Amino acid sequence: MEKTQKIAEVAELKDAFAVATSAVVIEFKGLAVEKDTAFRKSVRESKAQYRVSKNTLLRLAVKETPFEPLGGAFKGASAVATTHEDVIALAKAINGFLKDNPAAQFKAGIMDGRQISMKELQALAELPSREVLIAKLLYLMQYPISGLAVALDGIRKQKAGE
């Protein structure tokens, strides 16, 4: 890589980290191309970005950002997945990938400004999607009202039957 290419790569990475709210570093050595392609697709579907770059460039890119603590994880074959949208969708994509590919490993992660462990990533991945949580909340908010309506209708029918 020439120096100008490296500078451009660091600038692109800095831009990605500047807009991201969450980032996860994984090690991907020994991974088949088909599996990597499938993982890239699942990350794109979760509205996140996935990037493989040289560790020195990644370390330079995270300097003076909220993701600076990830600098120590950039050793070996490193890849970074970042998102500024749905953290849960990214966690699900990464967790599914790590389950299906024992050669890949979780190295480090920062989600919403807080470092996370693999257990926390798995816990996030097991949460229902945002849409499901909203639907459950709406059901719980509507349930007492619908129960009252059913009870009032029952009273009305009871009075009408007398």
Average pLDDT over residues 131-158: 85
- Of the candidates 40, 37, 81, the one whose C-alpha atom is nearest the C-alpha of residue 58 is 81
pLDDT band for 151, please (50, 70, 90 cuts): confident
Location of structure tokens 């309506």: 149
Which residues pair with residue 41 across a beta bridge?
none
**For residue 94, how many other CB atoms are within 10 A of its CB?**
27
Query: Which distant-in-sequence residues (6+ apart) come within 8 Å of 117 by Cβ?
Result: 109
Question: In a 3-state reduction of DSSP, which class is residue 75?
Answer: coil
Q: Give start and end residues of each alpha helix (H) in 77-129.
A: 87-100, 118-125
- Of the candidates 80, 14, 13, 81, the one whose C-alpha atom is nearest the C-alpha of residue 43 is 81
Query: Burial level of 31, CB count in 10 A (0-12/13-18/19+)?
Result: middle
Query: pLDDT value at position 130?
Result: 76
Mean of per-residue pLDDT scores for the chain? 88
- pLDDT exceeds cutoff 90 at 117: yes
Average pLDDT over residues 24-41: 86
Query: pLDDT value at position 162?
Result: 56
Kindly report the pTM of this predicted structure. Answer: 0.75
Confirm if 67 and 31 have CB atoms less than 8 A apart. Answer: no
Percent of the chain residues topping a pLDDT of 90: 42
Kind and range of the H or E run holding 52: strand 49-52
What are the pLDDT digits (tens) for 56-110?
A: 999 999 998 899 999 999 998 889 999 998 888 899 999 999 988 888 899 999 9
- Of the candidates 97, 85, 93, 96, the one whose C-alpha atom is nearest the C-alpha of residue 31 is 97
